[in-house]
Structure 1
Amino acid sequence: MGVFGSWKVKTWPLFIPLALSIAAFVLSMIALFAGTGPQQQALEEYHMLSLNVSGFGQDLLPSSTENDPAQPSESSSGGFWDSLGDTLGDIGDDIQDAVTDQVNDVIGDLADEITDKLGISQWYSLHVMNWCQGDFAPNSSVVGAWYNTTNCTERAAGIRFNLTEILNHEISVGPLHFNTAEIPLPERVERAVEDLNSALFALFVLFVLGAALSGFSILLTLATIAFSVLWGRRNGHRRQAGHKKTIIGNAVFNFLAVVVLAVAAAIATVIARKASAEITDAGDEVGISANAGMKFIGLCWGAFGAMFLAFVFWSSLCCFPRVTYRKSRV
C-alpha cells in the first residue's frame, strides 16, 4: 500500500471540481453583491436580515372607543314616558355605535398607513455592501407579501446602518410631526443593529477572499485540464510529476477557500438568527420585528458546500492511500 494516491487522473473527471469551483464563485458573488446593481429587485430577498417597521408608531394613534364602558341607567317603574325614553335611548345608542364604528374605521385606516404618514418605509433590509428600503406589496397585512424596493444606498464596504437616526430623521420631517421621544428604540434593538454592522464588514472581507480563492481555483483547474492533455503525450514519469504539482496546488487553494467560506457562513447564520430574535423580542413594544435572511444563509452554506466537495475531490487524489494489487501465481 502506497503512502499517496497514484497522482494520475483522466481529463474528464477534472470538470467535476471545475463545476463546483464555478458554483462556489457564483454563490459568493451573489452573496457579496445582492441588493446592488441592475438585479437589485430580483435579488432583494437575498439579504442578511430584514426589519419590518410597518407597525412602528401605532401607539401614537388615539385608542379605539369600542371598549368604552357602558354608563349605568337609572331604574324606573315604567310608563309611557319611560318607554319613550328607552326608545330614544336606543336610537341614541345606535347613532353612537355608528359614529364609533366610523371613528374606529378611520383609526384602523390610519394605523395601516401610519408609516406613510410618518414618512418611513415599511421595511429595511441589510446586505453585505448596502441596505435597502421599501414597502410590502400588495400590503403588509397580506400573507406572502413581497418586497417592493423603493431605494437602496450606494455600494460600499463597511456600511453603517443606524436605525435610530433613520427613524428620527424621517419622523421629524413627516406631516404628522410626532414626538419621537414617546417611542424610543429599546437598547437591545440598537445593540443588535451594531452587531449586524460589525458582522457585515467581516462578511465583506471573507466573501472577497472566498470569491478570490474560488476564482483562482477555477483558473488552476483549467490549467490542470490543459496540462493533462499535454502530459498525456509524454512518458509516464513526467506525467506523474506534473499531476502531483497541480493536484497539491488545487488541494491547498480549495482548502483555504473552504475555511474562509465556512467562517463566513457560520458568522452569517449566528449573527442573523441572534439579531432577528433580539430585535423581534425587544422591538415588539414599538412595532418593530426582524427576520433572518434564510436565502442569504443558504447561499453562504451552498458556496461552502461546493468548495468542500471540490476539496474532497483533490484530496482524494493525493491523500488517500493507494492499494497495489499483485497477480497471484498459479
Structure 2
Amino acid sequence: MDTTDGLALIADIGGTNARFALCDPTAAVPALLESQSLRNAGFASLQHAAEHYLAAVGARPRRAAIALACPVGGDEIRLTNRAWSFNRHELRASLGLDELRLINDFGAIAQAVPALAADERVALYGRDHDITRGPVSVIGPGTGFGVGLLVGSAARGWDVVETEGGHVGFAPLGDEERALADWAVARHGRVSWERLLSGSGLSAIDAVLRARDGVQDAGLRDPADVVAAALDGHDVVARRALARFCAILGSVAGDVALVHGARTVVVAGGIVPRFLPFLRASGFRERFLAKGRFAAYLEPVSVQVVTHPNPGLLGAAVALRDGAVAA
C-alpha cells in the first residue's frame, strides 16, 4: 500500500509490548487493520519498532496516533517502565508523518470505552451496565497500573482526563499487606499502587507470601506462571497471591470510584481478563465496598472488565478520528 491509501498508523506502547495497527481515521467505527504485537525487548527504540512494523505491512502512512504508558505533555517523552525516550518532533520526521498525536495509554483506553461493543466488556457488579454517562473511572494492571477518567455522556459527547493515578501511595490493610508494603519500600523507597497491582507486583506478592511460609529461595516467578499455578488449584501460595492481588485491586477500585464520583468503574489491562471467574469469586467486591459509611454509596456503582484484545489501539483510533488530542 502507499500514501494514497489514506490509512493512519495507530500504536499502543506499554512497558512490555508495542502494539501497532492501521486504521481509516474517517470511519465512524474504527476497524483495526494489520494489527501486530511486538516485544519491546527486541528493539532499541520506539522508532525502530515502528519502522519494523511499517516495513512488515508495506505501509507509509502520513498520520499517526500513539498511546504511551507515560505522561505525554512535553516534547521529550520517556516511558515509565521501559528505557525508551524520544522527541515527538524528531519521531514525526523520522517516520515521515505530517501529523503525530500522542496520548496517555489509559487516556486511550478511556477513549475506547464508549466504542466498545456489548460483548467486549463483562459486567461484574452494580446496577446500570450501560455506559451512557459519566463519570467513568478506567483502571487496570499490566506492566504498570493505569488510571483514567471519562466524563460527559453519549448524548453530549465525552471528554477524557489523563492521570498518573497508578502512582498514588498504597494503604495496606492487615499484616500480610503490611509485609508487602515493607518489601516494596525496602526496594523502591515508597510503595505505590503500581508496585503491587502490575505483573511484577503479582510476582512480588507471590514471592513475599512464599518467603513468609518459609519457602527457601523464594525468588520472583513470572506473573503468568503465578496465574496459571493459582488457577490450576494445586499451588496454595499462588492462589493466596492471586486472591491478595484481587483484594488489593478491589480496595483501589473503590478508592478511585470515591475520588472520581464514578457511576461506572471499568477495569482494563492485560492481566485481569485471564482470571475473570477467580476475580468474581475473590474478595474484590468486599474490599471495593469496605469504605465504612460510604459502602452504600458504592453499592450501585457498575464494575466492568474490558475483554477487547486491543482497547489501547481502538482508543488511539478514536482519538485520531475525533481530533481529541493536540498534535
TM-score of the alignment, normalized to the shorter chain, above 0.5: no
Task: Name the TM-score, length of structure 1 as normaliser.
Answer: 0.28
Which structure is higher in strand share?
2
Task: Name the TM-score, length of structure 2 as normaliser.
Answer: 0.28
Which structure is higher in helix share?
1
* Structure label with greater radius of gyration: 1
